[in-house]
């Protein structure tokens, strides 16, 4: 029996595979059409296009062996030269686009020696050690070189990958894909055909699922989706690794004083912000990365301490109070307006008066932040599922990335240096845990919460789980009853 499944999600953003996205709607589409050398699993990484890999002691030289006989959807070979071309394209400064900034992959791949030693062996010599290179490879979607000209021209809606599904038809509101039976690099998908449909309204997505007009719906409302269980469906809740934070400008202005950053951190009530801004659809953050990240320290969010916060403000010479500016977007996160108001209210009792500035254009807002022109505070919600990348791109003063806001901490940078050279996961995690604690003591951001994402499936599927990145994997769906 040839099964078909219909997936409803808010949008159908099928973009360039060599850009950088943590949008679960886009990741769901990319991972269905393209494949990666490795995939992140609950206990590390699992081979996909790669058969095995090895790294030198200091993690600068990586050798990857591909599975034999791999092909792209157009029948061309998915071999070491093809993988080489995808990695070289990722390294270009105009690729790796994320929220208005480009070149996200360039610090890791630009200038690297990427060589196809033979048809199945790829050698990657990095400019600097990167023990977490698999973090990057898990997001390195391999595209057929024959598709590069179209991708460079911005034509991303006819992709040619080596993933479990091949695109058959694309419209503004629907994408139809069929199983690529010529090869399967993982377990065979249970469904021959997948139909993704765009439905912006979460209430309508839920209604369609409950009425069996769809079999999967993502991005459901946290509270109303509880009706699924009583209706014979499955409600699946997962912690998103994306961290919602308020970045603090540490290069200039009042928050260049670590005492004032610490005072702000002590003034806020994370649990109240998570509860109020999201309707309880979030878990308060204990630090700069989620519990899913390597090196995250278990424990509750830091306690609010208004007396200590007031004392630090006075110690910094602002006994009469001080004024800050806070910028926020109206989307990504959608709760940003509520966050801005809550932070301003909670900071007021210890002497901070916060002027709030709204930005409607999300891409322009990202450029404002990456250019360093945002105010003292800015709401942000993008975090790669990589502790090293988060540290390297946002918190390392020696190689400031687009989201670095002037923060400097020798203990954090020492942990980065130790972790990037340590191939053993437990020891690398211990180094990142030291950075985690250092950032608790000397915060760069107000770390607020991880969102809780909810999806629904038709029928009872109690063992179904999201992948670690919180985006649906169409190839891993259980057999679902017909619509």
Instruction: Sketch out the chain's domains with CATH numbers.
Output: 244-451 (3.10.105.10)
- Quote the tokens at residue 161: 């990958």
User: For residues 108 and 394, what is the distance between their CA atoms, to the nearest angstrom?
Assistant: 14
> What is the average pLDDT across 275-285?
97
Beta pairing, strands 61-66 & 121-125: antiparallel
- Taking the model in full, what pTM does it have? 0.95
| DSSP structural state of residue 251 | S
Q: 10 Å Cβ neighbour count for 418?
A: 17
Per residue in 421-452, is it b (16+ CB within 10 Å) or e — as a string?
Answer: bbeeeeebbbbbbbbbebbbebbbbbbbbbbb
Residue 145: which pLDDT band, with cuts at 50, 70 and 90?
A: very high
Q: 10 Å Cβ neighbour count for 219?
A: 21
Residues 6+ apart with CB under 8 A from 469: 22, 24, 27, 40, 241, 385
Query: What pLDDT is attached to residue 35?
Result: 97
pLDDT tens readout for residues 109-133? 999 999 999 999 999 999 999 999 9
Whether residue 331 is predicted with pLDDT greater than 70 in this model: the reply is: yes
Query: What pLDDT is attached to residue 402?
Result: 86
Query: What pLDDT is attached to residue 350?
Result: 98
**φ, ψ for residue 56 (rounded to 5)?**
-70, 170
Assess contact for 117 and 80: CB atoms under 8 A. yes
- With pLDDT > 90 as the criterion, what percentage of the chain qualifies? 91
């Amino acid at each position: 029996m040839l099964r078909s499944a219909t997936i409803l999600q808010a949008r159908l953003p099928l973009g360039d595979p060599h850009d950088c996205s943590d949008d679960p709607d886009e990741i769901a589409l990319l991972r269905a059409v393209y494949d990666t050398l490795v995939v992140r699993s609950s206990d590390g990484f699992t081979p996909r296009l790669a058969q095995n890999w090895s790294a030198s002691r200091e993690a600068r030289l990586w050798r990857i062996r591909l599975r034999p006989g791999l092909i792209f959807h157009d029948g061309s070979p998915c071999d070491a030269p093809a993988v080489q071309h995808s990695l070289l394209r990722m390294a270009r400064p105009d690729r790796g686009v994320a929220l208005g900034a480009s070149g996200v992959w360039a610090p890791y791949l630009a200038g690297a020696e990427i060589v196809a030693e033979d048809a199945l062996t790829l050698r990657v010599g990095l400019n600097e050690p990167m023990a977490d290179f698999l973090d990057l490879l898990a997001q390195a979607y391999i595209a057929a070189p024959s598709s590069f000209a179209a991708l460079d021209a911005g034509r991303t809606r006819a992709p040619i990958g080596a993933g479990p599904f091949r695109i058959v038809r694309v419209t503004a509101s629907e994408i139809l894909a069929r199983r690529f039976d010529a090869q399967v690099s993982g377990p065979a998908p249970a469904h021959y055909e997948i139909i993704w449909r765009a439905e912006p309204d979460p209430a309508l997505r839920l209604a369609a699922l409950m009425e069996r007009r769809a079999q999967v719906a993502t991005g459901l409302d946290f509270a109303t989706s509880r009706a699924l269980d009583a209706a014979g469906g499955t409600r699946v809740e997962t912690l998103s690794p994306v961290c919602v934070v308020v970045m603090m400008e540490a290069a200039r202005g009042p928050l260049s004083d670590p005492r004032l950053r610490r005072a702000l951190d002590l003034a806020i009530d994370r649990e109240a912000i998570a509860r109020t801004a999201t309707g309880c659809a979030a878990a308060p953050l204990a630090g700069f990365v989620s519990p899913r990240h390597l090196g995250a320290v278990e424990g509750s969010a830091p306690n609010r301490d208004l007396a200590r916060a007031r004392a630090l403000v006075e110690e910094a010479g602002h006994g009469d109070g001080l004024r800050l500016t806070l910028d926020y977007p109206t989307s990504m996160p959608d709760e940003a307006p509520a966050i801005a108001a809550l932070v301003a209210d909670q900071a007021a009792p210890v002497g901070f008066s916060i002027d709030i500035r709204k930005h409607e254009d999300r891409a322009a807002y990202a450029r404002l932040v990456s250019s360093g022109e945002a105010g003292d505070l800015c709401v942000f919600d993008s975090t790669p599922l990589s502790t090293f990348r988060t540290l390297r791109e946002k918190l390392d003063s020696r190689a400031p990335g687009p989201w670095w806001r002037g923060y400097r901490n020798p203990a954090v940078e020492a942990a980065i240096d130790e972790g990037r050279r340590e191939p053993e996961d437990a020891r690398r995690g211990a180094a990142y845990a030291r950075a985690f604690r250092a950032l608790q003591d000397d915060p760069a951001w107000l770390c607020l919460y991880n969102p809780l994402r909810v999806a629904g499936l038709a029928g009872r599927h109690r063992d179904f789980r999201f992948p670690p990145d919180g985006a649906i994997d169409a190839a891993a769906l259980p057999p679902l009853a017909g619509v």
